[in-house]
A and B are shown apart, each in its own frame.
Chain A
Amino acid sequence: MMKIAIAACKLLRAALKKLGRGSSLPGAVALKICPGALGRLRIDCPVVAVTGSNGKTGTTELINRLALEAGLKTVCNSEGSNQIEGVAACLLGACDLSGRIDAGAVILESDERFCQYTFKELIPTATVVGNLFRDQLTRNGHSEFVAKELKKGLRPGTLPVLNADDPLVTSLGEGFQRVLSFGVSPAALSEPEDASHAYFDGAFCPRCGGRMSYRSHLFAHLGDYSCASCGFCRPAPTHEVTAIEDGAITVDGRYTIALSQRDMMHAQNLAAAFTVAVEVLGIEPERAAAILGGIELKNSMVARVSSYSALGRELTFMLCKHENSMAYNETIASILRGATPDGVSLLIIVDKLSRKYSASDMSWLWDLDLHRLGEPLVGRVVFSGGFAHDLCSRALLAGVPADRILVQPDIEKATSLILEHGRGDLFALTCFTDAPKLRESIRRLSKNGRK
């Protein structure tokens, strides 16, 4: 059945490719034919799984491109889904009919909750866990639930590569004899992070429940933590960023990596990729650092930014993710960090929460750092989409002055408002579910002129 499953997968992939569609369907069909197909693959090279709430696509791309440029032939699910069907489509599409994969490294992005299914029979050589944030709580419940589900996917035989700065992620290493870790040293921080956030998930120890203290914060609940009750604390990372300056990071005090984007999460992702390269793929550290410094990511914060012109103004669109407060909070923080004295104005659109499920829960709006829209550099704020009124109410309760807020549920009219009344640099924030509506609005406004 294995050969039939592989053949079916390859045929379907080829057919769908001709139609211009990438899909997990071939994997789903193959797994129907041969449910244990993943465990029957013959893979003689390291298999690296990458998972976590935010940044796993970027980290997967970093590791894949690093391996490629180091001369390794790779197999990576960079274009498909990150659930078991997508991984199956990728691997069965890449193997020969005997199930053998001819590669120097296999790099697989995986949904956090699906690791337990994807890696049931196929045990990765190493599993990178980047972070665990509040993400799609409608689907995922909460971070502790996700951590518990993810732990089921960390089976004996895999080598956990964990973010030392995230206490919940670090706690996943309990029970393993050997764990690798990466992080950003507190010494690398030139200035303390603004700790004013809508919520904080690091107050209590994930191991014993005792109250934790932090010597320094990176962002959200990531930082240098310790629990006085049980001694749980940030481990000394296998490799860590020891300096961030002049557009570059230094790893382990010796290896310099140029930064293509200046956000802390990217620094963390680079540290993760460096650790995998050196410890799992056997690439020399100097070489790994040199290659990483030259990678411009397709899936990066920079790539998630696009600029548009309409009604004589420039509008910068920054792709976020609904129900993921970290995505919005980090985007708002980066806009404010880069604001000029002319200030910034923002259009925030929340219309449809998900393409996959129907939900109307707006609890996550209370996890957004909307209070930051009350800072002096913010000129005008326009809220749009079906949740415009909820956003407005939440922002007012967070202390944003009423005279800088406009509410317009209609996305095209709202886009027109920000273009006409926005002060300073203009930004639009929304999720990929609502992005087409924004792009269409801009297109129509550009074509038709002033509304």
Chain B
Amino acid sequence: MAENKTTVRITWLYGDLMNLYGSAGNMSSLMRLLEAMGAVVELQELSVGGYSDFSGSDFIFLGSGTERRALMALEDIRRFKDQIARCLEAGGTLLATGTGSALFGRSIKGLDGGLREGLGFAAGSTEFYEKRRYGEYVMSCPLAGEPVVGCINTSSSVRWEEQPLFEVLHRTGDGPEGPEGALKGGLMLTQLQGPLLWRNPPLLEALARKLSGLPLPECRPLWLKEACSGYQRLLRQLTPPPEKAKNA
């Protein structure tokens, strides 16, 4: 008798264009965990010039790229706007990190001063500027139930007028302050970049459960146990001692 397996359809947008700061780590870790949970993962990669109907995806991911490349992706992604809308309306989830998140707001002001219309899925706008800022963060994350750690390495300012995806608990460096990201239905936007899911196993596991409806494996795979050790270490490192936090 054929086994009925849960299939999770994933679309990875612009993986060869928006590939900075280890963005690929998100896809690698998510797919491996879903497979460990018993799901069948159908991955579709789409980039500039390619076409496919991915409106039936369970999950869409767009990573971080240079400011110039983000604008290149913006010009190309417009033709997929309807598909993305249908995916989200049907209960799909979309995660965009770093500069990739800017594409889903109402507008982006480039370094040339030109204002470009965004996809408009979330209320908010982004402005690219010359100065670079780098900050490391601990943020609260209702979806994960545990804090999220990560970094923002940016030369842009983003203002979202949506429910924040995260709340900043601790920050080091000169990265942006205040609530972080936007959450609107299945749309998850954050300036946190890099392998966000890999470095935050609680968020990775919550997302995998949400996408598949399956329970986590009884025993975590070794790579995930190791990622958990790295996460715990980073969380300790980025969280100031209670005394210091109280005085801050």
Contacts and interface: CB of A to CB of B under 8 A. Distances in A.
Interface string B228-241: 01100110011000
Interface in A96-118: none
Interface in A380-421: 386-387, 389-390, 392-394, 396-397, 402, 407
A206 B22 CA distance: 21
Contacts of B136: 359-361
A358 interface: yes
A389 B233 contact: yes
Contact of A211 (B32, B48, B155, B230): B48
Contact of B132 (A141, A204, A209): A141
Nearest to B32: A397
A363 B230 contact: no
A363 B195 contact: yes
Contact of B66 (A142, A358, A362, A364): A142
A394 B22 CA distance: 11
Nearest to B152: A361
Interface residues of B, number: 43
B165 to A, nearest CB: 19
Chain A interface category by residue count: 35 or more
A397 B230 contact: no
Contacts of B72: 204, 209
Interface in A33-52: none
B66 A393 contact: no
Contact of A393 (B20, B49, B132, B227): B227
B162 interface: no
B21 A358 contact: no
B69 A204 contact: yes
A204 B194 contact: no
Contacts of B223: 392-393, 396-397
Contact of B230 (A142, A364, A366, A389): A389
A358 B199 CA distance: 18
Given A200-B16, A359-B136, A363-B21, A397 B28 contact: yes
B22 A393 contact: no
Interface in A141-158: 141-145
Contact of B68 (A144, A364, A394, A402): A144
A138 B17 contact: no
Contacts of A139: 134
Given A138-B134, A386-B233, A389-B230, A364 B17 contact: no
B49 A211 contact: yes
A393 B153 contact: no
Interface centre among A204, A358, A363 (most CB of B within 10 A): A363
B193 to A, nearest CB: 7
A366 B10 CA distance: 20
Given A203-B17, A360-B238, A363-B195, A393 B224 contact: yes
Nearest to A204: B17
Contacts of B2: none
B194 A145 contact: no
B237 A363 contact: no
Interface of B: 16-17, 19-25, 28-29, 32, 48-49, 66-69, 72, 132, 134, 136, 151, 153, 155, 172, 193-195, 198-199, 221-224, 226-227, 229-230, 233-234, 237-238
29 contacts: A137-B21, A138-B134, A142-B20, A144-B69, A145-B155, A199-B24, A203-B17, A204-B72, A209-B69, A209-B72, A359-B136, A361-B153, A362-B22, A362-B194, A363-B25, A363-B151, A364-B21, A364-B22, A366-B194, A366-B195, A389-B226, A393-B223, A393-B226, A393-B227, A394-B198, A397-B28, A397-B32, A397-B198, A402-B222
Interface of A: 137-139, 141-145, 198-200, 203-204, 209, 211, 358-367, 386-387, 389-390, 392-394, 396-397, 402, 407
Q: Which 3 residue pairs of A and B lie closest in terms of their CB atoms, listed nearest first?
A: A366-B22, A363-B194, A396-B223
